[in-house]
Amino acid sequence: MHSSTEIGKSLTAAALAAHAETELVIATVNNGHMIEMKKLTPAFEKAHPQIKLKWVTLARFKALYAGLRPLFSWKDE
């Protein structure tokens, strides 16, 4: 599993382009990574009050079957 620091860095990188009130929609499957990322939401939103995170839980592979691709992802080793 990736560390909370790595996940936080990914969210911060995504937020750097935000200048006004922004909502980031994060689509993920219901797994350990999602749980860890959701735990970071309050600290992230406190550090970036102009950015709100919205979590969307997808059924595994549903997005891929629909032809949607993630902007970024990682693979556990």
Mean pLDDT computed over 4-16: 67
Name the residue with higher pLDDT: 51 or 10: 51
Q: Which two tokens stand for residue 72?
A: 């970024």
49: number of Cβ within 10 Å? 8
What is the structure's pLDDT at 71?
63
Question: Is 15 domain-assigned?
Answer: yes
The mean pLDDT value of the chain amounts to 76
Share of the chain above pLDDT 90, in %: 22
Question: Is 70 domain-assigned?
Answer: no
pLDDT digits (tens, 9 = 90+) for 38-75: 999 999 999 999 999 999 887 766 666 676 666 666 66
Question: Is 77 domain-assigned?
Answer: no
Domains: count for the chain: 1
Q: If 0-12 CB within 10 Å is exposed, 13-18 middle and 19+ buried, where does residue 15 land?
A: middle
For residue 4, is pLDDT > 70?
Answer: no
Question: Is 72 domain-assigned?
Answer: no
Find the domain containing 18 and state its range.
4-65
